[in-house]
Every structure is written in structure tokens, then in C-alpha cells.
Chains A and B, each alone.
Chain A
Amino acid sequence: MSPVSRGFHRRHQEAEPAGRVPPGQYVTRDFPVLSAGPTPHTALANWTFSIEGGSSPASWTWQEFQALPSETVTVDIHCVTRWSKLDTRWKGVSLDVLLDAVSYDAPYVLAFCDGGYTTNLPVADLKGGQAWVAYSYDGKPLPAEHGGPARLLVPHLYFWKSAKWVRGLRLRQVDAPGFWEMYGYHMYGDPWREQRYAGD
């Protein structure tokens, strides 16, 4: 039972749409930037996206990646630092398309990025129209501070799983923690179950 904080009350009466905002989150209209370390800038000529660790690895150049079938999606995103942003519009390539290009039986991936960032995800959470590698936000090329040229977009998990500056996935038989997960953040990160930190 939480103690009452004397004199504290709700200040923002505008009700958010029911079922849109997970527990402990508030809606922001900004798009805050949270990343560990300086923003990397990779020339598109040197950019590739790779899927490693399967029996038939795959890699795409920027040009090849742009030629893949793309989708435009509008999703809500939820950052572990408690902001949620509703109706964000992205364009990118579905992970269904990318994973279909390789053969594998691994149940997990570790996403890797420019700048050394990593995060771990179950493959099941990347399949079935739930995840994309996005290169456009709100009709424009994705800005570097938001993860451009391309980032993962896995909106049903806390947004640290949507790795910025993503360069590929490493398929893994065993789930291993990525960058924030090693610092005590949750291995899975479901915002609706408030899985912020290990043990939540």
C-alpha cells in the first residue's frame, strides 16, 4: 500500500485515450532524445544491415535496403524514462521481410549498432508485423539524434529495445543482455507489465 504524498494530486485533467498509455507513463508531445554517448554519423556509402549467425547470413547495402518492400506504420512508443508518444509515423522494412531472407533456428537476437550499443530481443517479438528497421520519421529521413540513418522500431517493448543506429542482428541460441540490460534494465521490457528493471 503506497503512502499518500500529502497534497499531491493530478494536475493534468485531459484524459488520455483509454488503453493507450501503460502504467507509470505520461504522454509527451515532444520527441525526447536519450542515448548513451555521442551521436554517431555513418556515411550511407558505408552503411550495411546484416543478419549474422544463421546458416545463411544476409547483408544489405543502403541502396539494396531502400529497394526492399517498405511499410508506413503509425504506432505509440513508450520510453522507460516514462514518456510515451502517441501516433508516431515511421517508414521502414518489416523484420518479417529481413528474417525471411535468412535460415535460422535461433530464438533470440542481439541487435548491434554504430557506437557500440546493443540490445537483446526474442525473435518472436520481431516477427508477425511487430517490428521494423525504420529509416523515415514523420515523412522525413530519420534524424541522427533519433537513430538515423536507421533504427529498430519495436513499439510493443520499451523504446530502449528500438536500437538507434542499428547495423544488424546477431542470431543467438541463448538470450544475452545488451547494453542497458547489463546495467540492470529488464531483459524483455514489456511496458504494459512495467518491466523496467531486472526483477520487475
Chain B
Amino acid sequence: MAGTAVRGRLTWQTATVDSVVDETPTVRTLVLGLPDWAGHQAGQHLDIRLTGDDGYQAERSYSIAAAPGEPVAITVERLDDGEVSPYLTQDVQRGDEFEVRGPIGGYFVWDPARPDGTVPLLLLAGGSGVVPLRSILRDRARVGSSVPTRLLYSARNWDEVIYRSEFASPEAGVEVIYTLTRQQPADWTGYARRVDQAMITEVAWPVAQAPVAYVCGPTNFVEAVAADLVALGYPPQRVKTERFGATGTP
């Protein structure tokens, strides 16, 4: 399983912002031009480093939003008290430059060439935790995989749903299921509560189908969802998690 990651030294390179896509009022996708990208797997992340004109630098990690083989893109959510995300979601323009290195991580990846990539796929997203799962969905489409796939995506309200138009017409074999936890449109027929055991039981592939689950979101979301899956009988090693809990001053 492990040991397949690229082991070479990860060097910084200069990325150019090739295009900017506003996903929601606070979320932006940046498509990056990278002179030397060795390729990545769906679910991996990259590091970015910003440099001010006084030499001040800040580094952060972001999940890669694009499928392998597509131009590298990151999707960034603005955290108002942050230092890097406000710059990336408000100030940055096409043609701007910052440094990037990657790809990083080999655990939270979906690889259609491995046994885990051929079984029913359960994706569970909390908020902007949907980003690496979107990379997985795009990779599934790119390779023509037919594995039965469900994405359960929890957002506070409809306006905060990222990739809405893309998810409105999913590939054959992909179901996108939303739960809106705070506010729902008037004609809403989907779930309207936090993900709980009953919802997981309804949405998750039966354990007998030997599915694999990818859970990404804030810590409390991931802790609850992963525990629900284990309670349902998912073996812990079939529940891959990625948490982002670094609020405060990111």
C-alpha cells in the first residue's frame, strides 16, 4: 500500500495564476500554471508560499481541486481572520505569481489502478472539505471508471455549496446528496440537518459491498462521520480521513 509516493526532493517552483473562478461569495478556484509538475493523484495537496515585498513569507497547504492530468488548481475558502486565504480569494489576479511545491500526501488518495479504486466509493464532505473529493470525482470521470459513487455534501446553506453547477449534472453512476444544516431554499427536499448515524445509514454503501470511504471536512464533522461509519461496520482502514481544523489565525 504505502511506499509508492514520490520520494524525490520537493522543490519550490514559481506558479502563475492562469485563471480565477469565483465558486461562492467566499470561495475561489485558482488555476495555476506550473513549469515543472510531475503529476499528482486525486486527493493530494500542495504547499504554497507567498512572499511580500519586504521579504515576509507565509506558507500554507491546499488540497488540489483538479484531476490528475488537468491543469493544477486549488480552491480556497476565505477565512476572515486569515492571512493567506484573504489574499488568495480577494487580491490575487490573473498573472500573479507565488511559489508552489508538491504534490504531497499519499494516504488520502484515490487511485483507480489500485484495488481500493475499483470498489464502491463513498465521499463525505463537510464545507470546503469537498475540494479533494471533487478531484476524485473528476479523476473517476477522466479514467472512465464506473465504480458506484455517492457524495454526501454537508454545507450550511445553498449559497455556500462549491462546484454547484458541476455537481448538477454528475457522471453516470454518481449521486450527489446534499444536506443543508442552517438554511434551506423554500422548495428544498433534501436533508436539512447535520450528518448523523441515520443519514449515514441511508446514504452509505452496504458494508457487504466492501466500499471505501473518504471523509474530509472540519474536525467535528470528520470525527462524527468516521465514528458513524465504523459503527455501521466499516473497517477503520476503509475510512480515509482528512481534517482541517486549523482555524484561529490561518
Contact = CB atoms under 8 A, between A and B. Distances in A.
Same complex origin of A and B = yes
Interface of A: 2-12, 24, 26-30, 32-40, 81-83, 115-116, 145, 179-180, 182-184, 196-200
A35 B223 CA distance: 10
A171 B230 CA distance: 32
Given A2-B57, A32-B245, A8 B87 contact: yes
B123 to A, nearest CB: 16
A47 to B, nearest CB: 17
B246 A83 contact: yes
Interface stretch (B45-53, B126-134, B170-178): B45-53
Given A39-B226, A183-B106, A183-B107, A2 B51 contact: yes
Range of interface residues on chain B? 35 or more
Contacts of A81: 61, 246
Contacts of B52: 4-5, 8-10
Contacts of A30: 245-248
A38 B241 contact: yes
Interface of B: 2-3, 5-10, 12, 14, 47, 49-54, 56-61, 82-83, 86-87, 91-93, 96-99, 104-108, 219, 222-223, 226-227, 229-230, 236-237, 239-241, 243-250
Contacts of A33: 219, 222-223, 243, 245
Given A179-B2, A183-B107, A198 B226 contact: no
Contacts of A83: 246, 248, 250
Contacts of B8: 198-199
A6 B86 CA distance: 14
A24 B59 contact: yes
A27 B245 contact: no
A38 B239 contact: yes
Contacts of A4: 51-53, 97
16 contacts: A2-B57, A3-B98, A7-B87, A8-B52, A12-B249, A26-B249, A35-B241, A37-B226, A38-B226, A38-B236, A39-B226, A82-B61, A83-B248, A183-B5, A196-B47, A200-B10
A200 B47 CA distance: 14
A2 B86 CA distance: 21
B93 to A, nearest CB: 8
B96 to A, nearest CB: 5
Given A3-B51, A8-B58, 12 more contacts: A2-B49, A5-B92, A9-B53, A10-B56, A36-B108, A36-B240, A39-B223, A116-B236, A182-B5, A184-B10, A198-B7, A198-B10
B57 A34 contact: no
A8 to B, nearest CB: 5
A184 B236 contact: no
A2 B245 contact: no
B219 A32 contact: yes
Contact of B60 (A38, A82, A116, A145): A82
A189 B176 CA distance: 40
Contacts of A197: 9-10, 104
Contact of A8 (B2, B91, B226): B91
A180 B227 CA distance: 22
